[in-house]
Amino acid sequence: MQGPAAAVKGEPVDLACRRCALCNGRTKVVAGRGPRKARLVLVGEGPGAKEDESGAPFVGRAGALLDRALGQAGLLREQVFITNVVKCRPPQNRKPKPEERLACRPFLVGEIEAAGAPVLVALGATAAQALVGRPVAVDGSGSAPIRVDFEGSPRAVYVTLHPSSARFRKGAVEKIAAALARAADEARLPRRPQARLPAQA
C-alpha cells in the first residue's frame, strides 16, 4: 500500500485559520460539505472565486460541471461529501504551494476521518497527490482504484480529471462521471438505476 509517510492528526476545519499566507487574501474559509457520515468523499484542489465568496465548495463553474458528472453517474450531490485540499482560495486560482497544502492537511484528514468514507475520489492532480502520496496521472486513470493507507486507515482512491478541465477537454465530464460511478459502486452507494456507466475513451 502507498500513502504519505508522515502521519497527520486530523482536526476540525478552523474557520479563522491563519496557518499560511492564503489567509491574507481570502474572504471565507471553505470547509467541506455533505453528509456527516458519507460513503464517498470527493476532493478537489482549492476554492475558486465563487467558493471564496460563499464559503461552500464547488459552487462555481467547476461545481456546475461536477453536478453534471454526478448526474450522469446516477448520483446526487447530497449523497457525497465534497471538499478541497486547501480551504482558502489561492491567488488567481494558482495551484496551492506545498507549504499551503501542508498547513491544511490536518483539516483534510479530519474531514475524511469524520466522514468515515472507505472510498475517495481525487479530482485532479493536486488532490491525487494529496491522497495517494505521489504524483499520479489523472487522464484515463479512473477505471480502477489505488489502494492506500491514508493516515492509518485503508482507503480506495479513484483518480480522475478536475471538473474545470471539462471546459477544455472533450469528453471530460463523461470521464469524471465514469470514475464517480465506479467509486460509488465500490462504496456501495445507491445510484439511480436509469444511469448508465459512461464509456471510457
Instruction: State the Cα–Cα distance between residues 92 and 115, nearest whole angstrom.
Output: 30
What are the tens digits of pLDDT across the range 111-132? 999 999 999 999 999 999 999 9
- CA triple 146-110-43, angle to 5 deg: 45
Instruction: State the Cα–Cα distance between residues 23 and 31, nearest whole angstrom.
Output: 14
Q: What is the mean pLDDT of residues 45-65?
A: 96
Q: Which domains does the chain have, with CATH numbers?
A: 21-186 (3.40.470.10)
Structure confidence at residue 91 (pLDDT): 95
How many helices and strands (H and E) does the chain possess? 5, 5
What are the tens digits of pLDDT across the range 29-41? 999 999 989 999 9
From the list 148, 143, 169, the residue with the least C-alpha distance to 158 is 143
What are the tens digits of pLDDT across the range 146-198? 999 999 899 999 999 999 988 788 899 999 999 999 999 999 999 987 555 55
Per the model's pLDDT, the better-predicted residue between 41 and 1 turns out to be 41
Structure confidence at residue 143 (pLDDT): 77
Long-range contacts of 4-9 (CB under 8 A, 24+ apart): 4/133, 4/150, 4/151, 5/133, 7/151, 7/152, 8/105, 8/106, 8/109, 8/151, 9/106, 9/109
Are residues 95 and 110 in contact, defined by beta-carbon separation less than 8 angstroms? no
41: cell is: 468523499
Kindly indicate the confidence band of residue 10, based on its pLDDT and cuts at 50, 70 and 90.
Answer: very high
Instruction: State the Cα–Cα distance between residues 110 and 129, nearest whole angstrom.
Output: 17
pTM of the predicted structure, to 2 decimals: 0.92
Structure confidence at residue 1 (pLDDT): 43
Q: What SS3 state is found at 194?
A: coil
